[in-house]
Amino acid sequence: MGTITEVFATSVFSDKVMKERLPADVYAAMKRTIHHAEALDPNYINTVAAAMKDWAISKGCTHFSHWFQPLTASTAEKHDSFLLPKGGMSAIEAFTGKNLLQSEPDASSFPSGGLRGTCNARGYSVWDPTSYAFVKNKCLYIPACFVSYTGEAMDKKIPLLRSVEALSKEAVRLLHLCGKTDVHYVRTTAGPEQEYFLIPYDLYMKRKDLQYTGRTLFGAKPSKGQELDDQYFAAIKPQVKVFMEDCNIELWRLGINATTEHNEAAPCQHELAPIFDTTNISNDTNRLALDVMKTTAQKHGFACLFHEKPFKGINGSGKHNNWSMATDQGENLLNPTSDPYHNTQFLLFLAAAIQSVSDYSELLRVSIATAGNDHRLGALEAPPAILSVYLGDELTAVVNAIADGKKYVSPVKTTMNVGVAAIPELKKDTTDRNRTSPFAFTGNKFEFRMSGASQSISEPNMVLNTIMAETLRKFANRLERAKDFETAARKLIREVFKREKDHIIFNGNGYSKQWQEEAARRGLPNHATTPEAISVYDKPEYVKLFADHAVLTPDELRCRKAVMFDNYVNQIKIEAQTMCEMVIRDILPACFGYSTELSVTDSSAAAEIGVRVNTLTDDLYAATKNLEKALEGLKSAGIGEEKAYYTRDVIRPAMDAVRAPADELETIVSREYWPIPTYGDILYY
Ligand code: ADP
Ligand code: MG
């Protein structure tokens, strides 16, 4: 393959390729667009398109596609060939500026939450020049936005891009007040750490639940779970290592900085982390990485699972979203530097982040609310559904000193001695880590830990950027009027720290029962399930927030809310239907077969087991009939919110009632009869 640097980004229409293939003025304009968010001169688009086409054809491409992110769980693409017939059976390869700029995929079947009817189905995909085009499977992929005929956002990218601009505008105002007048633009950065399961593909294909829903709907706890913690950071299995190597090469080719890989807490669970980039590029490359991981896994005989909770009783998968802000001069605005206490600019941005989470924690909760993530949040493996901010010892000391008006003594960087002469002294961090916090300061960025593994990071980042824009705007409004900036800024910082130190800031154990009670006393919202979380999305103050910053119009927001309810209901409905199918067509026939065998076996053990099998089989059948009835009831359970609550309160419990006898049957029915691979089969290979 060559060295990493030889392979890296060879499938990307990168800066390097642009420099080689574009005239100098066009290249410079593209760079300004990508790095400084300046609109590209329309006169240059034909030139860029021609260069892109020639490059893609040199890479073996026959097709091009706008690649966009509708309001579903996946990405969308429609391929068109470069072929243009010229009469007399001749043809040329063509790709114009118009082809690059926009396409009309129609795509009337994507959810819009009512933004458009199927009768006015026009929708356009529009080139996003701030994310890099790439080639894959002989096709040129062009990252794109997806808008309706009337210009409304029907995808996950447009609001994210708008939110970056909103934040940039307000952050620049504040930075100018801080004396950084050379800053023109602020970008938000994200580094998503991706968790996933890798299981044998042949076993995956034997389970309809995994195929249809991404998670197991049945499965008894195996005799060995994760209690020994012998998987976490353990040596990677050779066949998994081969998968990872292959996957890395493919990701590197696509310009994705995959760096860290290790085994996670659960058996068969792993993590892959890239190096951070802008939130827009990180969002695109994360979607792309999931695709690459899935297809590469299949080549190696594995199925790659991104569901938030593929196995009951075993840790699920999240996607920690590391987030920060950086200026066009390259300064990370969440870098505390060596003296955070005296660094007013850093403290302003820190205070703004804290206040934003405090004021808008419900929106962060909505941004990651899905049926899949409900299994994970608060299940002692992921943060609870309550938002709080963890700062660590060093910053907490700074915050407390400022809030209480006390003198701050900075911690001395200490060293640690392992107690072995041959090992040199180690530098110790001034702050420990807290794995249980949903929003933790980790050195020079915040880590938002509530997102689910399968989710797009566009929504949480869109919310983070927007709520931050709002707080920065409030700060800038106030400080622009101040006579003495430094005094006014320190006063503002103190007010925020005083108010929040025993409110949204919490450094303790987020998994504990006491925290739930304490959080309730503090008045922090706790929306345990998705329907509750979604229902507050269009509170008047939130509608106003998104409208004020031109991130979502009131219509766009309400439509998104409707789509979220629909997705929640549909996901669980498919799970319930799959359960019924598996019980009737797989599990019950197996139980009948085994029961018959027991009945002709002349032994008291067989008789005793037979009674238990028959009782559980009857329970299972009754519970399944009940679930079918609940599903029937869904048809008349209203729309949107009402349907979602019905799903949560009637269907979900009916599903649990089906699972219980089935899982017990699995533990007593002979292996020979049991029709689906068990957790033990799947997780220990
Ligand atoms: P940790 O061990 O604290 O999780 P890592 O160095 O493994 O830290 O980083 C986790 C992720 O955070 C990586 O994807 C990394 O690129 C990303 N990251 C680092 N700095 C930033 C930043 N300024 N903004 C956004 N993400 C960042
Ligand atoms: Mg981390």
Is residue 537 within 8 A of residue 563, CB to CB? The reply is: no
Ligand 1 atom at minimal distance to the Cα of residue 442: 3
CA of 106 to the centre of ligand 2 (A): 40
* CA–centroid distance for 91 within its chain: 44
Give the helix, strand, coil percentages of the chain, each rounded to 5. 50, 15, 35
Cα separation, 644 vs 18, whole angstroms: 49
What are 631-666's pLDDT values in tens digits?
999 999 999 999 999 999 999 999 999 999 999 999
Q: Among the bound ligands, name the one nearest to the CA of residue 457.
A: 1
Concatenated DSSP letters of 346-392 = HHHHHHHHHHHHHHTHHHHHHHT--HHHHTTTTSSSS--SS--EE-H
Average pLDDT of 587-609?
96
The residue out of 101, 125, 155 marking a domain boundary is 155
* Centre of ligand 1 from the C-alpha of residue 213, in Å: 31
Ligand 1 atom closest to residue 191's alpha carbon, by position in its atom list? 14
Handedness of CA 430, 432, 433, 438 (dihedral sign): negative
- For atom 19 of ligand 1, which residue has the closest CA? 276
Flag whether 510 is in a domain. Answer: yes
Based on the domain organization, do 141 and 199 belong to the same domain? no
Residues 296 and 419 in one domain: yes
In a shared domain, residues 429 and 508: yes
pLDDT band at 118, cuts 50/70/90?
very low
In the chain, the number of structural domains is 3
Cα–Cα distance between 79 and 98 in angstroms, integer? 16
Compute the distance from residue 333 Cα to the ligand 2 centre, in Å: 19
Residue 110, amino acid: F
Same-domain status, 143 and 202: no
Contact 544, 359 (CB under 8 A): no
Instruction: Provide the pLDDT confidence category of residue 410 given band limits of 50, 70 and 90.
Output: confident
680: Cβ–Cβ under 8 A, 6 or more apart, which residues? 222, 223, 224
- Ligand 2: centre distance to CA 312 (Å): 24
Residue with tokens 């356009």: 124
Atom of ligand 1 at shortest range from CA of 192: 14
Looking at 56-65, 416-425, 508-517, which range is the least confident one?
416-425
Q: Which of 155, 171, 190 is the last residue of a domain?
A: 155
**Is 645 within a domain?**
yes
pLDDT at 287: 96
Nearest to 59 by CA among 69, 71, 51: 51
Out of 527, 552, 577, a domain closes at 552
| Residues contacting ligand 1 via CB (< 6 Å) | 189-191, 193, 260, 273-276, 322-324, 332, 442, 444-445
Query: Model confidence at 429, in pLDDT bands (50, 70, 90)?
Result: low
pLDDT for 420 beyond 70: no
Q: Which of 322, 332, 437, 465 to mutate to test the pocket of ligand 1 (most atoms within 8 A of CB)?
A: 322
659 C-beta neighbours (distance < 10 Å), count: 21
Between 149 and 565, name the one with better pLDDT: 565
The pLDDT tens digits of the residues spanning 125-137 come to 999 999 999 999 9
Q: Would the pLDDT of 516 be above 70? A: yes
Instruction: Return the structure tokens found at 335.
Output: 């870098």
Give the mean model confidence (pLDDT) for residues 190-196: 96
Give 523-557 pLDDT, tens digit per residue. 999 999 999 999 999 999 999 999 999 999 999 99
Q: Give the pLDDT score at 119.
A: 44
Question: Does residue 421 surpass a pLDDT of 80?
Answer: no
Q: What is the mean pLDDT of the chain?
A: 92
Predicted confidence at residue 98, as pLDDT, reads 93
- Which ligand 1 atom sits closest to the C-alpha of 334? 23
State whether 529 and 414 are in the same domain.
yes
With beta carbons less than 8 A apart as the criterion, state whether 434 and 392 touch.
yes
Residue minimizing CA distance to atom 14 of ligand 1: 191
Which residue's CA lies nearest to atom 11 of ligand 1? 191
Is residue 562 included in any domain, yes or no?
no
Pair 371, 652: CB distance under 8 Å: no
The terminus-to-terminus CA distance of the chain in angstroms comes to 29
- Same domain? 489 vs 394: yes
Q: Three-state SS string across 279-331, please?
A: HHHHHHHHHHHHHHHHHHHHHCCEEEECCCCCCCCCCCCEEEEEEEEEECCCC
HSE-up of residue 598 (Cα within 13 Å, Cβ side) = 21
Task: Give the position, in ligand 1's atom list, of the atom nearest the Cα of 324.
Answer: 24
pLDDT at 1: 65
Q: Domain of residue 357: give its range.
A: 162-218+228-552
Domain containing residue 663: CATH number:
1.20.120.1560
Please tell me the distance between residue 189's alpha carbon and the centre of ligand 1 in angstroms. Answer: 10
Cβ distance 359 to 66 under 8 Å?
Answer: no
Neighbours of 234 (CB within 10 A): 12
Atom of ligand 1 nearest to the CA of 276: 16
Largest CA distance in the chain: 96
3-state secondary structure of 502: coil
Q: How confident is the model at residue 35 (pLDDT cuts 50, 70, 90)?
A: confident
Say which ligand is closest to the CA of 262. Answer: 1
Q: For residue range 166-184, list pLDDT tens digits in order.
A: 999 999 999 999 999 999 9
CATH of the domain at 357: 3.30.590.10
Q: Is residue 559 part of a domain?
A: no
| Residues 6 or more apart whose Cβ sits within 8 Å of residue 324 | 188, 189, 276, 332, 333, 334, 444, 445, 446
- Output phi, psi for 123, to 5 deg: -140, 145
Tell me the per-residue pLDDT of 374-390, one tens digit each, with 9 for 90 and over. 999 877 677 789 999 99
**Is 674 strand, coil or helix?**
coil
Number of neighbouring beta carbons within 10 Å of residue 360: 22
pLDDT at 224: 75
Do 474 and 581 belong to one domain? no
Residues 353, 402 within the same domain? yes
Q: Would you give the DSSP letter of residue 221?
A: P
Site of tokens 């979220």 = 564
Contacts of 579 (CB under 8 A, 6+ apart): 209, 217, 218, 624, 627, 655, 658, 659
Say if 615 falls within a structural domain: yes
Whether residue 64 is found in the same domain as residue 172: no
Q: Which long-range CB contacts under 8 A does 516-524 form with residues at least 24 apart?
A: 516/384, 516/386, 519/384, 519/386, 519/388, 524/361, 524/386, 524/387, 524/388
Q: DSSP class of residue 586?
A: I
Buried b (16+ CB within 10 A) or exposed e, 238-252: eebeebbebbbbbbb
Q: Is 245 helix (H, G, I), strand (E, B) or coil?
A: helix
Residue 229 clears pLDDT 80, i.e. is over it: no
What CATH code is carried by the domain that includes residue 25? Answer: 3.10.20.70
- Ligand closest to the CA atom of residue 318: 2
Asked if residue 557 belongs to a domain, the reply is: no
**Residue 426 in contact with residue 288, Cβ under 8 Å?**
no
Of the listed ranges 39-43, 264-268, 289-293, the least confidently predicted one is: 264-268
570-571-576-578 Cα dihedral, nearest 10 degrees = 110
SS3 (DSSP) at 478: helix
> Ligand 1: which residue has its CA nearest to atom 8?
442
Please give the Cα distance from 204 to 300 (Å, whole number).
13
Residues 10 and 85 in one domain: yes
Q: Does 61 map to a domain?
A: yes
DSSP 506: -
Helical (H) or strand (E) element with 322: strand 319-327
* Neighbouring-strand partners of residue 188: 325
Higher pLDDT pick, 277 / 380? 277
Q: Which structure tokens are listed for 660?
A: 């219980």
Q: Which atom of ligand 1 is closest in space to residue 443's alpha carbon? A: 3
Is the pLDDT reported for residue 227 higher than 90? no
Q: What is the DSSP string of 388-455?
A: -EE-HHHHHHHHHHHHHT----PPPPPEE--S-TTSPPEEPPSS---TT-SEEE-SSSEEE---BTTS
Listed residue (40, 531, 461, 106) closest to 287, CA to CA: 461
Is 119 among the domain residues? yes
What residue's CA is closest to ligand 1, atom 3? 442
Distance in angstroms (rounded) separating the CA atoms of residues 363 and 361: 5
Q: Are residues 76 and 57 in the same domain?
A: yes
- Report how far ligand 1's centroid is from the alpha carbon of 186 (Å): 18
Q: How confident is the model at residue 425 (pLDDT cuts 50, 70, 90)?
A: low
Residue 578 structure tokens: 């799959």
Q: What angle do CA 166, 168, 172 make, to 5 degrees?
A: 125
Same domain? 113 vs 10: yes
Confidence grade of residue 93 (pLDDT, cut at 50, 70, 90): confident
**pLDDT at position 630:** 98
Pocket test for ligand 1, best of 276, 433, 449 (most atoms within 8 A of CB): 276
Do 262 and 198 touch, CB atoms closer than 8 A?
no
Residue 612's nearest CA partner among 668, 570, 651, 650 is 668
Looking at the chain, the whole-number percentage of residues with pLDDT higher than 90 is: 79
Q: Separation of 277 CA from ligand 1 center, angstroms?
A: 10
Section 477-500 average pLDDT: 97
pLDDT band at 428 (very low <50, low <70, confident <90, very high): low
Residues 20-48 have a mean pLDDT of 93
